[in-house]
Amino acid sequence: MPVKTNAARMLEARGIAYRATVYDPSGAFHSADEAAELLGAPAEAVYKTLVVLRETIRRERPLLVLVPSRAQLDLKLLARGLGEKKVRMATQREAEALTGLQVGGISALAVRQGAFDVYLDESARARETIHVSAGVRGVDFELRVADLVAVTGARWLRAVSDYAW
């Protein structure tokens, strides 16, 4: 039985169905691609959550951007879609400090509601379900894309220019 995370409690409280899988209790995996392999899920169904910062003077919330595990985030494309001049990836230290979660376990389902602007890459529109982090390294949730969007307030955006599949 997987660890009961705060994200799991939140989904259950809202009546949202999900499937939790502990795929690496040691948390020793190094990439979303490796996580997909450990899950036995197609890589295109596994989404990694990246912390991105705007490089503007005004105080804006940081971003959580969910993209397919094999895809590379296109920062220029993302900035253009947001109407920003420039955005940058948060460092590991920044990402962990902002989210309160370990890199590899960062999840839009596990952060304080409203603390981040959440964006989901357009590629997820083609899927009924996707896999995302449960907020703990080595624990995955599979849930309906529509439920993920509803519970996180995610907005659709093209964030990757080329897919590896």
Residue 163 lies in a domain: no
**Contact between residue 6 and residue 139 where contact means Cβ atoms under 8 Å apart:** no
Instruction: Classify residue 165 by burial, with Cβ atoms within 10 Å: 0-12, 13-18, 19+.
Output: exposed
Residue 1 lies in a domain: no
pLDDT at 2: 54
DSSP 8-state assignment for residue 80: H
pLDDT in tens, 45-75: 999 999 999 987 666 899 999 999 889 999 9
Residue 91 lies in a domain: yes
**Domain holding 127: CATH number?**
3.90.960.10
pLDDT in tens, 101-113: 998 889 999 998 8
The model's pTM is: 0.91
Residue 48 lies in a domain: yes
Domain count, the chain: 1
Residue 152 lies in a domain: yes
CB-based contacts of 52, cutoff 8 Å, min separation 6 = 62, 63, 64, 65, 73, 75, 78, 87, 88, 89, 90
Residue 165 lies in a domain: no
Q: What mean pLDDT value characterizes the chain?
A: 89
Task: State which residues form the domain around 65.
Answer: 6-157
CA distance 148 to 165: 23
pLDDT at 1: 46
- Using 50 as the pLDDT threshold, list the residues of the chain that sit under it: 1, 165
Question: CA 39, 44, 45 angle in degrees (round to 5)?
Answer: 55
Residue 117 lies in a domain: yes
Residue 78's nearest CA partner among 69, 67, 70 is 67
* DSSP calls for 86-110: -EEEPPHHHHHHHHSS-TTS--TTT
Question: CA 90, 95, 96 angle in degrees (round to 5)?
Answer: 155
Residue 96 lies in a domain: yes
